[in-house]
Each structure stands twice: as structure tokens, then as C-alpha cells.
């Protein structure tokens, strides 16, 4: 799977952005035996707590993360797994406009199956 963050603002006026990922196993299981509300055992990635990130520090360059199957194998050993994607602006007092796309295809150069 490839996560592609395209920074789409006007050239020279767009702020930089960073993409953060968190792959979380056991996200769908209840924390307590009497709890009926599932999918609350997850966290949103932020600047200090994340698993995978991409940050070029260049507002005109995209951010690209390719998640290999081993990442899911090691993090998702149970029946439930969640991939949480966060985008954080990096430039003070400037908006960071972006387009986020995820691809899952056998050949990443020829994307036949965008998600």
C-alpha cells in the first residue's frame, strides 16, 4: 500500500505538511469485558506519537509512504487492525493545502486499483 500526500496549494504560498501513520492491532476489541462499544481502543497520530512518517521539509515536494506487508503482519496479529492517517501542517502562519491518496496495487508504478 502506498500513501501519497500531494501538496496542492499555490506554488510558493502553500505551507509544508507532514504525513503520519499509525498501524494499530486490537483496535476493534473491547478494553473491558462489559464494554459493548468497540473500536475505541486507538489513537490519532500526532507530532510526538506515531509509527511511520514522511517529512521532506519542502512545500513543493510530495510525501510518499509505502507500507510493506510485514508492517501489517507485525502490528496486526489479531482479527482487527486499523490504519490511521494524520496530516500535520509544518509551516507557521501558512495554510497547508493537500490531497491525500492511498493506492493498493501489485505494481505501484501502474496504479490499477486506487482506494
Which three three-digit cell numbers place residue 35? Answer: 464494554
Please count the structural domains in the chain. 1
Query: Is residue 110 a part of any domain in this protein?
Result: no
pLDDT higher than threshold 70 for residue 25: yes
Q: How many CA atoms lie within 13 A of 38 on its CB side?
A: 11
* pTM tops 0.85, yes or no: no
**Predicted confidence band of residue 38 (pLDDT cuts 50, 70, 90):** low
- The cell 513543493 sits on which residue? 60
Per-residue pLDDT, averaged over 6-15, amounts to 82
Domain range enclosing 36: 2-100
Instruction: State mean pLDDT over 90-104.
Output: 88
Residue 108 lies in a domain: no
- Determine the Cα angle at 25 with ends 19 and 31, to 5°: 120
Q: Is residue 115 part of a domain?
A: no
91: in domain: yes
- Within 10 angstroms of residue 106's Cβ, the number of other Cβ atoms is 7
Amino acid at each position: 500500500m502506498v500513501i501519497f500526500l500531494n501538496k496542492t496549494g499555490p506554488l510558493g504560498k502553500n505551507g509544508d505538511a507532514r504525513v503520519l501513520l499509525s498501524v494499530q492491532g486490537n483496535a476493534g476489541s473491547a478494553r473491558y469485558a462489559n464494554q459493548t462499544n468497540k473500536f475505541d481502543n486507538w489513537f490519532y497520530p500526532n507530532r510526538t506519537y506515531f509509527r511511520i512518517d514522511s517529512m521532506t521539509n519542502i512545500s513543493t515536494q510530495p510525501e510518499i509512504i509505502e507500507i510493506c506487508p510485514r508492517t501489517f503482519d507485525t502490528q496486526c496479529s489479531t482479527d482487527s487492525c486499523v490504519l490511521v492517517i494524520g496530516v500535520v501542517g509544518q509551516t507557521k502562519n501558512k495554510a497547508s493545502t493537500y490531497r491525500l491518496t492511498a493506492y493498493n496495487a501489485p505494481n505501484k508504478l501502474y496504479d490499477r486499483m486506487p482506494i
